[in-house]
Amino acid sequence: MKTNDVILQTVTRTVSFIILLFSIYLFFAGHHNPGGGFIGGLMTGAALVLLYIAYDIKTMAKVLPIDFKNMTALGLLIGVSTGLGSFLFNVPFLSHSFGYFYLPFLGKTELATAVLFDLGVYLTVVGVTMTIILTIGEDNE
Amino acid sequence: MAWLQLAILSPFLLAIFVPFLYKYVRQIHTGWFVLILPLVLFTYLVQFLPTVSRGESIQHTIEWIPSLGINFTAYVDGLGLLFGLLITGIGSLVVLYSIYYLSKEKEALNSFYVYLLMFMGAMLGVVLSDNLMVLYVFWELTSLASFLLIAYWYQREKSRYGAQKSMLITVFGGFAMFAGFILLFLMTGTYSIREIITQVATISTHELFIPAMLLILLGAFTKSAQFPFHIWLPDAMEAPTPVSAYLHSATMVKAGIYLVARLSPIFAGQAEWFWLVAGFGIVTLFWGSFSAVKQTDLKSILAFSTISQLGLIMCLLGLGSAAVHFGYDKETALYTTAVLAAVFHLINHATFKGALFMVVGIVDHETGTRDIRKLGGLMSLMPITFTLAIIGTFSMAGLPPFNGFLSKELFFTGVLNASQLNLFEMQTWGMLFPVLAWVASVFTFIYSMVLVFKTFTGKYQPEKLDKKPHEAPIGMLIPPIILASLVVIFGIFPNLLSYSLIEPAMASIIPSVLGPEQQFYVNIYHWHGLTTELYMTIGVIALGTILYLSLSKWSGIYNWFPKKLALNHFYDHGLISMERVANKITRFHMTGLIRDYLVYIFAFLIIVIGGGLFTLNAFTFDSSTTAPIGIYEVILALIMVVAAVAVPFAQSRITAILSVGIVGFMLAMFFVVFRAPDLALTQLIVETVSVALFLLCFYHLPKLKKEISPVPFRATNFMISLGVGLVMMLVAFSAIGNRLFTPISEYFLEASYTEAGGRNVVNVILVDFRGFDTMLEGLVLGIAALGVYSLIKLRLARREDLENQ
């Protein structure tokens, strides 16, 4: 008998996006409020896991054709490149800088290179969490 | 690079080309190419004779490691030149002999000559180096080359055994010597022997002087096969005979003698040196000659004979060191006789022992055996070999007119003089020397006669021999003929040597005896009147002949000697029991159980940290800086303690997992209470994930061995865990009260917004101030993910897969 997950799946559709939004909020809030790349990444991972629980792995592979191992690599690459980038400006490895800019729609906004680094952390954490959970989940021995 | 250094290194350079010569010039025996080098070196060294006999010396220095005071200083004086001539001269003869001894078709000549050249170069380096460290390097190279040469026929079990034994013993001694050299350096601040000798007066009262002497003597005694380290030499006889003739009679075993002679100017005059060198020498002399008589293998007889003769030389060097007390003039020339005898006998021994080894090699080569019980009656079949054997053995036994007679007379003079010394308590024990020396000479006479007469006279037993014996080819006979003629020449004209070699060598061994402008004057007489020495020699011959003729009647005494007290027995059982004990110790503590290793680690932690706290009296508890405890903290702590205590007492694993989860969530709550929102968020999610993973592990436990049972109680575990908890608690409490500096956090709080533009200090530290750590932690996570992935996906070691392959 096939179980009917209609309630779970319906709730997931709404809730997972709320969690995703929250995780993105955590990520961007990190510089001034509690949050940051690590916890944001874990939250995104939680949203994705919820989706994987509600639907099965095959469906999710179609919807999200992402190889999370590559995502880990991308995250690490971004982290290292932000460090290497500081060499372009003749400053030591991983020197960060920030400034205030007037952007359309957003007004006066603070932009910091540290956020790029945090993005690397974010992608790494999502990639690692999902790789571990999916590898164990797919294993059927 | 001066010619002298090039001469020392030339054997090594030639050794590089030997394999190519062997491979590409197959029709010519490789030995012919090698032969040129020692001949050239010999002629080169002979050139130094006039300079050295004038009492001068030659010295060339190349800087090697100048910052450590290690320079490759080549130094030629009487002693070095004497040894250099022995090495190159006998080296040439041995190479010539080996050309006829080793077959070019059957033997791996390339490795033989590479090892032999390596040995020759190392030996030249030992005797011509002034720097102790360079000497040590060459010394170990001789051990290594000797090891390789003994195991030349490595497919034989006994060769490998002999090589290992000699390696272990000589390297043990070499290492002790190395330590002794370092002690000398610590005392004097230089590695140069010349410079150390100039400081003798200041170091002889130093507290490291005696340890240095003992360690260096240990090196010399092991290398020169002195009692009780002589056991490697008989087993080294498994080497090809040219090797035995070269290494184990003429050169390498004299390296220890050389060392004692070379360092005599430093140590001579001390009672310890006198007694150790002379005492071990005389014991070795006696024991070697006593043991030689019972051997049945020709090479074993020669091996023990070598041991005994080395003991003789060593003993003379020890006795001669007493001369340092008296200085040199007409009356006290008596005391330097021992040194004169040592140098003279050193030359004589190299000649007759080299010849005898070659003779034995010929017998072995032509008859296929070295066992005296199978040999006999070869006199008429091998007349030249027999003549050579006669000359060699009679010289060894100390019969006139050969050179052995002269050195034995001088030896007797030396021991007789020594017994009348009124130094070093010689009055009480001095008579032992002449007595032991005389008895040893009797035994020397007996085994010499055994060697020659049991082999060449008596009944010819062709049925016991593998080959039909005949005279050796002329090439094999030339080297022993040359050596035997030297025996005769030195016997008849001993003073040929005295001006050119012996006097300068004596001047190097006991330089302090000579005043300025003084020189040793050596004149060796054949006929020195009806002295005690002559009567002693006559007694040796008389008693020796009687004992030889009645050998079969009394040789049973060797069976009385218990096998268990034999030194080889000690060595073999020592090795075996060392291995056994090491095995036992390893098996005792390396159980393979991770629990035991954790016990060691934690016990170590308790002992070192707890013991450290206790002995340094470091436990302090200062409550002045502690914050007041709030009600939330008490509640959270209580829940945490209950959950933590529940873990070891849980009846099932699932309870334990959930209890661990509770501890983790309480920790997150603590982070909330202590105002760490980032940590609290992270802790909550990480704890959730890890509890989920624990549950996953639990779910997949194998069905067969599933045991839902409580943790068994073990007293050790309890004690250890209690101890670790207590120690860490004490450390934590002590650390609180001892904050020596204001923390750096003030800076972060101030600079977070102004410098990095962020108000979340934790995050700013993570990505900006300390971003490097975060980057590498990301890497750790990535590695963990890839690790999980590969562990699960790449299960190559599955049993079915292995069986299918």
Centre a 10 Å sphere on the Cβ of residue A127 and count the other Cβ atoms it contains.
Answer: 27
B-contacting residues in A 6-25 (Cβ below 8 Å) = none
Q: Which residue has the tokens 């300079």?
A: B51
- 3-state class of B767 per DSSP? helix
- pLDDT value at residue B423: 65
Does B674 lie at the interface with A, CB-CB under 8 angstroms?
Answer: no
Contacts of B766 in chain A (CB under 8 A): 36, 38
Does A117 lie at the interface with B, CB-CB under 8 angstroms?
Answer: yes
For residue B61, the surrounding DSSP H or E stretch is strand B58-65
**What percentage of chain A exceeds 90 in pLDDT?**
26
Closest CA to B308 of B278, B274, B284, B334: B284
Question: How many Å apart are CA B469 and CA B463, to the nearest integer?
Answer: 11
- pLDDT value at residue B620: 78
Question: How many Å apart are CA B490 and CA B500, to the nearest integer?
Answer: 13
Confidence bin at B563 (pLDDT 50/70/90)? low
Question: How many Å apart are CA B456 and CA B303, to the nearest integer?
Answer: 20
Question: How many Å apart are CA B457 and CA B473, to the nearest integer?
Answer: 21
Instruction: Please indicate whether, in this complex, the C-beta atoms of A83 and B678 are within 8 angstroms of each other.
Output: no
Are B381 and B471 contacting, i.e. CB atoms less than 8 angstroms apart?
A: yes
Does A125 lie at the interface with B, CB-CB under 8 angstroms?
Answer: yes
pLDDT score of A74 more than 90: yes
Pick the residue with more confidence: A21 or B616? Answer: A21
Does A127 lie at the interface with B, CB-CB under 8 angstroms?
Answer: yes
**Beta strands A98-103 and B70-76: pairing type?**
unpaired
pLDDT score of B796 more than 70: no
A-to-B residue pairs, Cβ atoms closer than 8 angstroms: 129
Q: Which of the residue ranges A122-126, B451-455, B481-485, B604-608 would you say has the lowest mean pLDDT?
A: B451-455
Pick from B696, B774, B778: CB nearest A136: B696
Does B164 lie at the interface with A, CB-CB under 8 angstroms?
Answer: no
- pLDDT value at residue A91: 84
Average pLDDT over residues B293-302: 86
In the 8-state DSSP scheme, what is residue B192?
A: B
**What percentage of chain B exceeds 90 in pLDDT?**
18
Integer CA distances (angstroms), B136 to B11, B173, B257, in order: 18, 11, 15
* Residues sharing a CB contact under 8 Å with residue B257, sequence separation 6 or more, in sequence order: B220, B224, B310, B313, B314, B317, B342, B346
Written as one string, the DSSP assignment of chain A is -----HHHHHHHHHHHHHHHHHHHHHHHHTTTSS--HHHHHHHHHHHHHHHHHHS-HHHHHHH----HHHHHHHHHHHHHHHHHHGGGGT--TT---EEEEEETTTEEEEEEHHHHHHHHHHHHHHHHHHHHHHHHHH---
Instruction: Please indicate whether, in this complex, the C-beta atoms of B768 and A39 are within 8 angstroms of each other.
Output: no
In the 8-state DSSP scheme, what is residue B63?
A: E
pLDDT by residue (tens digit) across A14-34? 999 999 999 999 998 888 888
pLDDT by residue (tens digit) across B113-147? 999 999 999 999 999 988 899 999 999 999 999 99
Instruction: Please indicate whether, in this complex, the C-beta atoms of A124 and B760 are within 8 angstroms of each other.
Output: no
pLDDT score of B461 more than 90: no
Question: Cα-flanking dihedrals φ and ψ of residue B128, to 5°?
Answer: -110, 10
Instruction: Please indicate whether, in this complex, the C-beta atoms of A42 and B685 are within 8 angstroms of each other.
Output: yes
Distance from CA of B212 to the nearest CA of A (A): 55
- Joined together, the tokens standing for residue B672 give 């909330």
Average pLDDT over residues B408-428: 74
* Cα nearest neighbour of A136 on chain B: B792
Written as one string, the DSSP assignment of B700-763 is TS-STT----PPPP-HHHHHHHHHHHHHHHHHHHHHHTT--S--THHHHHHHHHHHH--S-HHH
Question: How many Å apart are CA A132 and CA B19, to the nearest integer?
Answer: 59
Instruction: Please indicate whether, in this complex, the C-beta atoms of A96 and B768 are within 8 angstroms of each other.
Output: yes
- Joined together, the tokens standing for residue B399 give 């019969």
Greatest distance between any 2 Cα atoms in chain B = 115
Does A40 lie at the interface with B, CB-CB under 8 angstroms?
Answer: no
Average pLDDT over residues A98-122: 79
| Amino acid at the residue B800 | E
Question: Which one of A52, A70, A86, A121 would you mutate to disrupt binding with B, by most B Cβ within 10 Å of its Cβ?
Answer: A121
pLDDT by residue (tens digit) across B245-286? 888 777 888 899 999 888 888 888 788 888 888 888 888 898
- pLDDT value at residue B514: 66
pLDDT score of B805 more than 60: no
Contacts of B782 in chain A (CB under 8 A): 72-73, 75-76, 124, 127-128
* Cα nearest neighbour of A123 on chain B: B778
- Joined together, the tokens standing for residue B221 give 């005694």
Distance from CA of A6 to the nearest CA of B (A): 24
**CA B677 from centroid of its chain's CA atoms:** 65
Pick from A36, A72, A127: CB nearest B763: A36
Q: Give start and end residues of each alpha helix (H) in B109-240.
A: 109-128, 132-150, 157-188, 193-198, 200-203, 209-223, 232-235
- Region of B589 please: left (phi>0), alpha (psi -120 to 50) or beta: alpha
Average pLDDT over residues B72-89: 88
Average pLDDT over residues B709-732: 84
For residue B74, the surrounding DSSP H or E stretch is strand B70-76
- 3-state class of B227 per DSSP? coil
Instruction: Please indicate whether, in this complex, the C-beta atoms of A42 and B686 are within 8 angstroms of each other.
Output: yes
pLDDT by residue (tens digit) across B656-684? 888 999 999 999 999 999 888 889 988 99
Highest averaged pLDDT of the listed ranges B323-327, B577-581, B754-758 = B577-581
Confidence bin at B579 (pLDDT 50/70/90)? very high
Instruction: Please indicate whether, in this complex, the C-beta atoms of B757 and A98 are within 8 angstroms of each other.
Output: yes
- pLDDT value at residue B800: 60
Question: Which one of B768, B788, B790, B791 would you mutate to disrupt binding with A, by most A Cβ within 10 Å of its Cβ?
Answer: B768
- pLDDT value at residue B24: 85
Does B211 lie at the interface with A, CB-CB under 8 angstroms?
Answer: no
pLDDT score of B451 more than 80: yes
Confidence bin at B331 (pLDDT 50/70/90)? low
Is residue B423 classed exposed, middle or buried when 0-12, 13-18 and 19+ CB atoms within 10 A define those classes?
middle
Average pLDDT over residues B347-363: 88
Closest CA to B83 of B356, B310, B350: B350
In the 8-state DSSP scheme, what is residue B236?
A: G
Question: How many Å apart are CA A74 and CA A80, to the nearest integer?
Answer: 10
Does A31 lie at the interface with B, CB-CB under 8 angstroms?
Answer: yes
pLDDT score of B588 more than 60: yes
Pick from B757, B767, B778: CB nearest A75: B778
pLDDT score of B328 more than 60: no
Handedness of CA B224, B226, B230, B232 (dihedral sign): negative
| Amino acid at the residue B136 | Y
- Joined together, the tokens standing for residue B668 give 């997150």
Does B699 lie at the interface with A, CB-CB under 8 angstroms?
Answer: no
- pLDDT value at residue B783: 93
Say if residue B228 is preceded by a cis peptide, omega within 30 of 0. yes
pLDDT score of B234 more than 90: no
- Interface ipTM: 0.91
Are B320 and B335 contacting, i.e. CB atoms less than 8 angstroms apart?
A: yes
- pLDDT value at residue B367: 82
Question: Which one of A72, A101, A125, A130 would you mutate to disrupt binding with B, by most B Cβ within 10 Å of its Cβ?
Answer: A72
Say if residue B511 is preceded by a cis peptide, omega within 30 of 0. no
Instruction: Please indicate whether, in this complex, the C-beta atoms of A125 and B767 are within 8 angstroms of each other.
Output: no
Average pLDDT over residues B590-603: 89
Three-state SS string over B328-376 comes to: CCCCCHHHHHHHHHHHHHHHHHHHHHHHHHHHHHHHHHHHCCCECCCCC
| Amino acid at the residue B532 | T
Are B387 and B336 contacting, i.e. CB atoms less than 8 angstroms apart?
A: no
Does A112 lie at the interface with B, CB-CB under 8 angstroms?
Answer: yes
Centre a 10 Å sphere on the Cβ of residue B401 and count the other Cβ atoms it contains.
Answer: 13
